[in-house]
């Protein structure tokens, strides 16, 4: 009779639900899952936490976030009602940033690329302050880094407020770029971001940002290992022979000029006929501020220069340059030259225009230059077999190859420096990577020691 008055054991208590506008709780964690009406305003779902992997918002933090987001939505809807913008525009992050009156990363970078006079080849002169224009290669590098950042994770960072990028946030961006594109690209992006923020903080840039996140980076990207790739005599002979066989003696001329002058690509492409005299070739190295070098001309190089002049003798218009793009009949554009060199090198390495696996189509430049040529048939007719070791050889390696060949020929460091324009330190850096393991040097060294021992008293 007293059963009803007994306490019930094990009965669960009622569940407490915390309701916060715009916040959805999943497994005890706060998330924002916008309905269709808010998605049309450009909102996307997100975890409510500090950073992408930091601690989740506390209850108070979630409430504060909700209040801010509700106010933001009210302001956006008011802007639409007043005709200041449209829902379609609000779906764009840049438009949202404009309404908020902040400078986005995209706006900062675009201002740096489009408004910086140095990017347009104009020097900065302000009193005693002097800044030279940026080189075409530097400008291309900055623009390439900007594209990498723009497309990183579908533009996740591109339209974020520039002043919200802290050193910690930038470290995360650089890490993602390094994972996807490699260390060299990560370092290039860091350089571009530093330059862009530096411009944005200047008078010329309009003081559109307050800080430079690169200045506060704690984690430094490692320095790239120096690239030392020396071509063998057989590789270089083969590369030039393939260029000639496939109808690109102008590329073969450039390779030969690099091997027998050790000059950079830009200096080779800029060389004019008037700089070739009976005493040799006069180079003014651009990277060294116009350092003059008079390099005696070897017979193999002289023969190729004479042959090039004969090929172009009946042209209606001739340029003063030694190296000419003979398909377009004008001086080489450095960007086009690099692409053409890669096509010819790939053909020399594999006897085909397709990628190594054979599954991917040739590059557009390969199709443009050799699309109608049976590369393997031409090489077979010339007695040239593919040489896969050339696959990793770059035009820039011609300079290191020339330095090494000069040393193998018995030249002193001072003789090498007089030809190449290298500092003695740079020559040591190149040679120590190569000669430490070179058997020819070991053999000649022991032969000299043996000869010395026999004649020594």
Is the CB of residue 186 less than 8 Å from the CB of residue 221?
yes
184 occurs within a structural domain? yes
Q: Which of residues 182, 216, 250 is at a domain's end? A: 216
Q: What is d(CA 37, CA 43) in angstroms, rounded to the nearest whole number? A: 9
Do 200 and 265 lie in one domain? The reply is no
Is the CB of residue 209 less than 8 Å from the CB of residue 103?
yes
The label of the residue with tokens 């669960």 reads 12
427-443: pLDDT as tens digits: 887 777 666 656 666 77
**423 vs 196, more confident:** 196
State the pLDDT at residue 290: 62
353-369: pLDDT as tens digits: 887 554 567 888 988 99
| Chain centroid offset of residue 150 CA | 14
21-51: pLDDT as tens digits: 999 988 888 988 888 888 777 777 888 887 6
Length of the chain: 457
Is the CB of residue 23 less than 8 Å from the CB of residue 32?
yes
Do 410 and 294 lie in one domain? The reply is yes
Do 145 and 204 lie in one domain? The reply is yes
State the pLDDT at residue 256: 97
Do 250 and 396 lie in one domain? The reply is yes
What does the block give as tokens for 300?
A: 């193999």
Do 347 and 251 lie in one domain? The reply is yes
Which among 4, 57, 61, 60 is positioned nearest to 29, based on CA atoms? 57
Residue 13 has pLDDT above 60, yes or no: no
State the pLDDT at residue 3: 47
Q: What is d(CA 174, CA 237) in angstroms, rounded to the nearest whole number? A: 41
Do 136 and 56 lie in one domain? The reply is no
Do 162 and 281 lie in one domain? The reply is no
CB under 8 Å to 279, separation ≥6 — which residues? Answer: 294, 296
132 occurs within a structural domain? yes
Q: What is d(CA 111, CA 106) in angstroms, rounded to the nearest whole number? A: 8
What's this model's pTM, rounded to 2 decimal places? 0.65
Tell me the CATH number at 283.
1.10.443.10
Do 256 and 400 lie in one domain? The reply is yes
CA atoms 77, 83, 89, 93: torsion sign: negative
Specify whether the backbone of 207 is left (phi greater than 0), alpha (psi in -120 to 50) or beta.
left
Is the CB of residue 265 less than 8 Å from the CB of residue 135?
no
Residue 342 has pLDDT above 90, yes or no: yes
Classify strands 280-285 and 291-295 as parallel, antiparallel or unpaired: antiparallel
- The predicted model gives 109-133 an average pLDDT of 82
Q: What is d(CA 188, CA 199) in angstroms, rounded to the nearest whole number? A: 17
- The predicted model gives 406-418 an average pLDDT of 87
Do 155 and 262 lie in one domain? The reply is no
Tell me the CATH number at 112.
1.10.150.130
Q: Which of residues 216, 242, 276 is at a domain's end? A: 216
Residue 2 has pLDDT above 60, yes or no: no
19 occurs within a structural domain? no
CA dihedral 343, 345, 347, 349 (to 10 degrees): -150
Domain assignment of residue 120, given as a range: 103-216
Which of 76-85, 250-259, 284-293, 435-444 holds the top average pLDDT?
Answer: 250-259
Do 48 and 74 lie in one domain? The reply is yes
Number of domains in the chain: 3
82 occurs within a structural domain? yes
State the pLDDT at residue 196: 92
450 occurs within a structural domain? no
Helix (H) or strand (E) holding 293: strand 291-295
60 occurs within a structural domain? yes
Least confident of 132-146, 193-207, 429-443: 429-443
Do 347 and 259 lie in one domain? The reply is yes
Which among 387, 323, 340, 359 is positioned nearest to 246, based on CA atoms? 340
316 occurs within a structural domain? yes
State the pLDDT at residue 394: 95
2 occurs within a structural domain? no
Three-class SS string for 88-120?
A: HHHCCHHHHHHHHCCCEHHHHHHHHHHHCHHHH
Do 390 and 245 lie in one domain? The reply is yes
Q: What is the mean pLDDT of the chain?
A: 84
């Amino acid at each position: 009779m007293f059963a009803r008055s007994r306490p019930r054991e094990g009965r669960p208590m009622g569940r407490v639900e915390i309701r916060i506008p715009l916040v959805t709780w999943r497994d005890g964690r706060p998330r924002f899952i916008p309905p269709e009406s808010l998605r049309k305003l450009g909102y996307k779902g997100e975890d409510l936490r500090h950073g992408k992997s930091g601690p989740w918002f506390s209850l108070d933090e979630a409430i504060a976030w909700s209040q801010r987001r509700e106010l933001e939505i009210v302001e956006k809807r008011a802007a639409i009602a007043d005709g200041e913008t449209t829902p379609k525009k609000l779906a764009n992050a840049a438009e949202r940033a404009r309404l908020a009156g902040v400078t986005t990363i995209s706006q900062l970078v675009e201002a740096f690329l489009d408004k910086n006079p140095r990017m347009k080849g104009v020097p900065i002169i302000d009193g005693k302050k002097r800044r030279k224009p940026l080189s075409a290669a530097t400008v291309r590098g900055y623009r390439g880094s900007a594209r990498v950042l723009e497309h990183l994770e579908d533009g996740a960072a591109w339209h974020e407020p520039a002043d919200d990028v802290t050193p910690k946030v930038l470290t995360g961006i650089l890490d993602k770029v390094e994972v996807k594109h490699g260390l060299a690209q990560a370092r290039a992006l860091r350089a571009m971001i530093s330059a862009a923020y530096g411009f944005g903080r200047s008078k010329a840039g309009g003081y559109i940002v307050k800080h430079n996140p690169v200045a506060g980076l704690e984690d430094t990207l490692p320095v790239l290992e120096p690239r030392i790739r020396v071509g063998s005599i057989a590789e270089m002979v083969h590369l030039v022979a393939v260029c000639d066989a496939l109808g690109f003696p102008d590329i073969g001329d450039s390779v030969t000029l690099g091997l027998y002058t050790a000059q950079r690509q830009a200096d080779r492409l800029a060389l004019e006929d008037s700089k070739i005299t009976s005493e040799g070739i006069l180079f003014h190295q651009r990277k060294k501020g116009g350092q003059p070098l008079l390099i005696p001309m070897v017979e193999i190089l002289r023969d190729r220069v004479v042959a090039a002049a004969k090929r172009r003798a009946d042209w209606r218009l001739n340029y003063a340059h030694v190296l000419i793009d003979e398909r377009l009949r004008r001086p080489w554009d450095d960007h086009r030259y690099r692409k053409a060199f890669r096509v010819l090198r790939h053909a020399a390495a594999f006897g085909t225009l397709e990628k190594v696996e054979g599954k991917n189509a040739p590059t557009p430049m390969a199709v443009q230059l050799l699309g109608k040529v049976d590369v393997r048939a031409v090489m077979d007719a010339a007695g040239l077999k593919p040489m896969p070791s050339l696959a990793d050889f770059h035009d820039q390696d011609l300079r290191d190859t020339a330095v090494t060949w000069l040393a193998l020929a018995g030249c002193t460091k001072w003789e090498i420096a007089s030809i190449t324009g290298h500092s003695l330190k740079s020559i040591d850096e190149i040679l120590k990577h190569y000669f430490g393991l070179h058997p020819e040097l070991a053999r000649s060294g022991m032969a000299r020691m043996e000869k010395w021992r026999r004649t020594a008293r």
